[in-house]
Each structure stands twice: as structure tokens, then as C-alpha cells.
A and B are shown apart, each in its own frame.
Chain A
């Protein structure tokens, strides 16, 4: 029991932050909800599947469950957390350098905004690739789809984002910056 909990602790420390980030990007920046769902994913893992999973599979299981939670949230209500997340955002401690803070916020906002234009399956596949560095096979395992679909989803997501990025840059230049 103790060793199992130790293993679980290691897994938690390794993947909790990245799972939070994955969920936050998937959910369009709703940080509080992302943390909540990440904890719930770990809770599910600990309660049900932890001892039954083959070694090395826990990470994929976690992302799969987390993504399902996120999908449920999409279905159940888009606005439930909005107000609460805004409060969290306002109350969050600021960085010391206001300029740096502003730039970082703007950049993150753009990335999130662009990601939200993608269909959910493309977004999840791209995030798992770019942030978690999962291979196509692993992404297919997490999302329960074929590798060829992963390949197509990631390619389409990149193409869409690239076009959006180009348009945004053009608009930025046209404003005389």
C-alpha cells in the first residue's frame, strides 16, 4: 500500500502540472476548472484503475479521462465557470514587471483564442503533441482513435492555426505597428 502510494505520488508530481496545462488549453483558459478536473482525473485513477493498469499506461489513462471530463464540461455548460474563473484571474498575484506581464498575457490570450477556433478533437491531438510530446501512437491511444486520424487532425490543426496566425500578423501590420 505504501509503495503504491509512493508510485502514485511520483506520478502525480510528474504529470499534475502538465495535465493542468493540457486541460486549461483544452478548456480555453479556465484555470480553476482545469485544476479541478486534473485532480478528479487523478482521483479516478487512484480509486479505480491504478493497480490494474500495465506499467507506463497510467499517463495515457490520465489524459484520456481528463479529456473526457473536459468534453463533459463542454456538454454540460459552457458558462458555469466563467465568472468564477474571472474572479480567480483578477485575484491572481501579478508579476513584478507590468510590461512583461502584459506581453505574456497577450501572447497567452492569442494562443488560447486561436486554439479555441479548432474542433475539440483537433485541439486535443495538437495539445498532446506540442505540449506533452506524445507520439502519434500514444495520442491515438489516449483519444481512442486511429493513428491516421491523429495524423490528419494534427495537420489540419496546424494548417488552420498557421492561416489564422498569418491573418493576425497582417492585421497587426495594417494597423501600423
Chain B
């Protein structure tokens, strides 16, 4: 092989060679059979490739265009490329489906595991022989003595009449948010709160029973019951204000506990519990701030808020989840 201008010939036939270089190569090609043959072969290949006709007759541009435009207009969300009915209708991708299924299953298992074993704030049960992973034993944590002392100091739950004596009653105490949020310690009222009218799921009969549920689960359950009771409030007679003294007092009690639990959840980074408690707090506050005989419109407004925020089902789900995690 005397000369090798193959690369330049490739550029020449593509018009990518500078004018001067192209002229000199043209001159060379007129005298060199070998290079001239290369050019002829390259051009022959070009004609073969460019003459390639579509083997399958393409769907006519107009129907195809109509298909594209209708797809684009009707479903503008971009995503995994869709298949057109017709030529591409058989394009189910089993690998993609399998990968998706695996990912979904992993996510589902992860979510269940997270919900089941998520560490709960302020776990007060210490009679479990083998707590599940992630469930804190309160006796082993340094910040719990205060809580334990409070629990120890509690009286055992005993039945109380629905409307207790004057010690329990604070008919005119309007609770202000700023004051509550800055209240560092729970009021005595909170520690003694255990109205027997609220039954607890799981056989526990007293709100202060520390052995069956975590504090958070109990709180969720009590709040759920309160909200249910409040939602079902009806005035005894049409036109009369509903009697809500009990609900109001109960809301005050739960509010203090809610504030405490929320702070604990915040400090422990338990976003889910903190968020739920955060949503619950203004509702409890509103109920606690109602008069003993509020206007129907005031009650109705709070009821609507409870409905709108779906707090009752949320509390139910969370109390069950937390309780299950503690089993």
C-alpha cells in the first residue's frame, strides 16, 4: 500500500476538508488508483445506505401525527414513554414491571417495619420482658425520672363522677396559647386526670395505667375519644346551647399533656408524632377555651375543623400503631 489517504478521503466525500487540502487531494486522486478505489467504495457504501428504503411501510404521517397530537393534548404529563395502540401495543416490559414490583414491596415492608418499630417518645412501660426494637424502656433513659416520679405519685384510677367537685372545676379559666406554650410543668390537674367514662382499647380501664400503653398511645386514644364525643355533641333541646363542661375540662387536661408530648417528640425528632400532636393542639385549645354553654355556631365551627383535619381517624390509626409497637 503506497499511500494512505483513506481518512482524508472520508472527510473529502463529506465536504469536511478545507478547500486547499481538498484541491490537493483531488489532484492526488486523479493519479492514484488505490485512493480513487477507496473513494469509489465509500461512495458505493453511501449510495447503498442512503438508498435504504423503509422495510415496513411507515404509518401514514397524518394518522401518526394525529395520534401524537391527541396523545400529547389528552395526557400532557411526561413520564415513562407510552405505547401507541397498534404497532407498539405488544411492548409490555416484564423487567420494568418486575423492578417496580420489587421496589414497591420493599417500600411497603420498610413502611410497615418503620411504623411497627418506630421509637416512641416517653415510653412509660417497664414491665415488658422483651420490648421490641426501637421501643424505649423508660427506666433506662435519663430524662424520664421526672415522668416516673409523676407516675409514681399518681393515685390509682378510681371512678369519679362526671362532674367533679369545685377543685376540678375552673369554669372561668380561659386558657391563652402563650401561657400554655410557656408552661414548663404540668398542672396538678393533669396528674389526676382519669375520668372513668372513657374506656380504653386493650382492656385497660384507667387512663393512668402505665403498663399497657405508651403515654403517647394513651394520649392519642383519649384525644380521639374526646373528639368523637365532641363531634357527637347535640344540644338537649333545639335552640339550647350544648352542655360541654365536661368536654372542656377534659380538653384542658389533654392539652397540657399534648404540649408535653409534643415537646418530647420535637426534641427526639419524632416527626410523625410531633406533627400529629401539633395538629391536635389547636383543637384541644379551642375546646378548652369554650364557655360552659357555648353558642351552637362555636361548637359547629370546631366540629368542622375536626372533620376537615381528619384528626379522629389519624388519632385512631396512630394510637393503634403505637400500642402495637409496644406489644
If A12-B65, A39-B64, A135-B16 touch, does A24 touch B72 (CB 8 Å cutoff)?
A: no
Q: CB of B91 within 8 A of chain A?
A: yes
If A155-B10, A158-B10 touch, does A43 touch B88 (CB 8 Å cutoff)?
A: no
Q: Nearest Cβ distance between residue B327 and chain A, in whole angstroms? A: 46
Residue of B14, B48, B51, B76 with most partner-chain A CB within 10 A: B14
Q: CB of A42 within 8 A of chain B?
A: yes
Q: CB of B53 within 8 A of chain A?
A: yes
Q: Nearest Cβ distance between residue A97 and chain B, in whole angstroms? A: 15
Looking at the complex, which of B77-85, B264-272, B312-320 is the stretch in contact with chain A? B77-85
Q: CB of B93 within 8 A of chain A?
A: yes
If A43-B72, A154-B10 touch, does A36 touch B84 (CB 8 Å cutoff)?
A: yes
Q: Roughly how many angstroms separate A104 CA and B7 CA in the complex, as a whole number?
A: 31
Scoring A residues 158 to 171 as 1 if CB is less than 8 Å from chain B, else 0, what string do you get? Answer: 11011001100000
If A44-B78, A107-B48 touch, does A31 touch B55 (CB 8 Å cutoff)?
A: yes
Tell me whether B84 and A12 are in contact (CB under 8 A).
no
Scoring B residues 61 to 92 as 1 if CB is less than 8 Å from chain A, else 0, what string do you get? Answer: 10011011101100010100111100110110
Tell me whether A77 and B95 are in contact (CB under 8 A).
yes
Q: CB of A13 within 8 A of chain B?
A: yes
Residues of B within 8 A of A35 (CB): 56, 58-59, 64, 87-88
Residues of A within 8 A of B7 (CB): 155
Q: CB of B108 within 8 A of chain A?
A: no
Tell me whether A77 and B93 are in contact (CB under 8 A).
yes
Scoring A residues 27 to 51 as 1 if CB is less than 8 Å from chain B, else 0, what string do you get? Answer: 0010111111011101110111000
Instruction: For A75, give the chain B residue with the smallest CB separation.
Output: B95
Q: CB of B41 within 8 A of chain A?
A: yes
Residues of B within 8 A of A104 (CB): 53
Scoring A residues 88 to 116 as 1 if CB is less than 8 Å from chain B, else 0, what string do you get? Answer: 11001100000000001001101110010
Tell me whether A24 and B54 are in contact (CB under 8 A).
yes
Q: Roughly how many angstroms separate A21 CA and B55 CA in the complex, as a whole number?
A: 9
Q: Roughly how many angstroms separate A29 CA and B11 CA in the complex, as a whole number?
A: 28
- 14 A-B residue pairings within 8 Å (CB atoms): A16-B64, A21-B53, A32-B87, A35-B58, A36-B83, A39-B67, A42-B65, A76-B95, A84-B90, A88-B87, A135-B14, A155-B10, A158-B10, A158-B45
Chain A residues near B (Cβ < 8 Å): 5, 8-9, 12-13, 16-17, 20-21, 24-25, 29, 31-36, 38-40, 42-44, 46-48, 69, 76-77, 80-81, 84-85, 88-89, 92-93, 104, 107-108, 110-112, 115, 126-127, 129-131, 135-136, 151, 154-155, 158-159, 161-162, 165-166
